[in-house]
Amino acid sequence: MTHKKPHLAHKICLVCQRPFAWRKKWAKDWDNVKYCSERCRRHKSE
């Protein structure tokens, strides 16, 4: 049995343009999250 979480907020990554879901580690700073991963964050200006 899989546990789905359809109620989580989603955003589009500014680098790869893929959707990504809210994560608990971003709970306090969700408004400022712009990238889906550390890799995309590092490549933001290229």
Whole-angstrom distance, CA of residue 18 vs CA of residue 30: 17
pLDDT tens-digit readout, 1-46 = 666 767 889 999 999 999 999 999 999 999 999 999 999 999 987 6
Tell me, what's the pLDDT at 7?
82
Q: Name the residue range of residue 30's domain.
A: 10-42
The verdict on residue 33 lying in a domain is yes
**In 3-state terms, what secondary structure has residue 10?**
strand
Whole-angstrom distance, CA of residue 34 vs CA of residue 5: 21
The verdict on residue 1 lying in a domain is no
The verdict on residue 3 lying in a domain is no
Quote the pTM value.
0.75
Q: Work out how many domains the chain is built from and give that number.
A: 1
Tell me, what's the pLDDT at 1?
63
The verdict on residue 27 lying in a domain is yes
